[in-house]
Amino acid sequence: MTSLKLHGRDVGTVFDLLGRKENDITYSFGWGLSQSDALARALLNDLTTDLKLGDIGELTQISLQNHIPETGYTDIEIETDHAHVIVEAKRGWIVPGEDQLSKYGLSMGREDQTGSRDRRKAGILIAAEGRQEFAKGKYPKFVKGSDGRRIPVAYRSWTDLVRFTENTMAQVRSTNEKRLLGELVQYLKGLMSSRSIRDNMVYVVPLSRKPSEDWTPIPPLDIVLKHGHYFHPVGHSFPKEPKNYLGFRFDAKLQQINFVEHVEVTQRPRDFIPGFTKKYDFDIPHYMYKLGPAIVPSHDVKSGKMWPGQKLEAALDLLLTCDTLKEARDRTNERFEVLGD
C-alpha cells in the first residue's frame, strides 16, 4: 500500500489527517464515540460507579465543542435518555481545577425554554495523560449543579481510554466498526508514544549558592548537586507540564544538564530532600524532579546577555554545541519557525 504523508508527517489513520493538537484528539475520540455505541456504552458503564449514573438508558447524542452561555465550550458531551456526561479532554498532564469544572457543573440540570428542568443523572469526566495516581487530589470530587445538586467528577487517563477502545474492538462484530476502532487505537497510541522536537528541549535555570529562608533551608545549588533533585511551581510563570531535561547555570555559564528520571507533584519537599521541614511546605503544587546523571558540556557555554535570574528553553543538541545560552535559545527559536512543532 502506498504511504501517505501530510506536511512530511506519516498519515497512518484517518484521524491523523486532523492533526495531533488537543482539539484534534478531542474530535477524534468524540467521532469514535459517535460511530460506536459499544464504545460509548463501555465508557459510561465504567463510569457508572464513580459518577453514580445508575441505569444509563439509550444513547441519544454525542456533542463536540458545544457552546454553553456563561460557561464556554465543552470538549465532548455524551447524552442518553437517563444520563448526561461532560468530558474535559486534555493532552498533557494538566488537570483542570475547580474553577473550570464548576462552570460545567452549573450547565447541568438547567431548565429549558419551557421551564422543564433536566433531571438526568449528570457527571464530569477528566481525560488527561497522567495516571490516576498522579491526578489524585488535583480535582474536586464534586461540583455544584445549577439545581443545587452535587455533580460527581471522575478521572481517566488516555491509557485507560485506549484500553476501553481495544476491549470494545475485540467484542464488536461489524467489520467497519472494528476498522474504525482499530484506527482510533493506533492514532491514540501514536500520540502517547510520539516524540516531537520539543521532547529534547532543556529548561535552563540559574542556581544560587545561598539559601533563602522564604522557601529553602539549604542552598539551591546543594539541592541539585548533593541531593539530585529540583523543584518548581506547576504553572504560575513556570512550566505547566513537567520537563524531560533540566539545565543548571551558575558562575556565569551552563554547568550541567540532567535527564529527569522521575517527577511527582507535591507540596511537601521534606518527603524528598533532607533538611526540609514542615515550615517549608509549599502553598501550591510543585513538580519535584529526580535527576539522572549529569551531562557536562565539553566546552564553556557562557550565559551571554542574560539577566541573573533569567530562565530559558533550548534544544539539547544546541546547548552542547553553541558558545552561549543566548545563541542556543535563538537558534532553537529559529528551528521552530522552520520546522514547526
| Pairing, β 121-128 against β 83-89 | parallel
- DSSP class of residue 25 equals H
Around Cβ 37, how many Cβ atoms within 10 Å? 15
CB atoms closer than 10 angstroms to residue 185: 20
Please, are residues 88 and 124 in contact by the beta-carbon 8 Å criterion?
Answer: yes
Query: If you search the block for the grid coordinates 532553537, which residue do you land on?
Result: 332
pTM listed for this prediction:
0.62
Spatial contact of 249 and 319, defined as CB atoms under 8 Å apart: no
**CA 1/CA 42 separation, integer angstroms:** 33
Distance CA(195)–CA(73), nearest Å, equals 29
Query: Which DSSP string corresponds to 128-141?
Result: ESS-HHHHTTSS-S
Q: Measuring CA to CA, which residue among 123, 128, 148 is closest to residue 138? A: 128
Q: Which residue has the cell 460506536?
A: 36
Task: Say how many C-beta atoms besides its own lie within 10 A of residue 86's C-beta.
Answer: 26
Rounded to whole angstroms, the Cα distance separating 300 from 255 reads 8
Residue with grid cell 551571554, as numbered in its chain: 304
Reduced to 3 states, what is the DSSP secondary structure of residue 112? coil
Residue type, 247: G
Q: What radius of gyration, in Å, describes the C-alpha atoms of the chain?
A: 24
* 234: amino acid identity, one letter: V
CB 177 within 8 A of CB 38: yes
Per-residue pLDDT tens digits of the chain, which is 341 residues long: 666 776 666 766 767 667 767 788 899 999 999 999 999 999 999 999 999 999 999 999 999 998 877 777 899 999 999 999 999 998 777 788 888 899 899 888 777 767 678 889 999 999 988 778 778 888 999 999 888 899 999 999 999 999 999 999 999 999 999 999 999 999 888 777 555 567 789 999 999 998 887 899 999 999 999 999 999 999 888 998 889 899 999 999 999 999 998 898 899 999 999 999 999 999 999 999 999 999 999 899 999 888 878 999 999 999 999 999 999 999 999 988 776 55
- Give me the numbers of helices (H) and strands (E) for the chain, helices first please: 9, 15
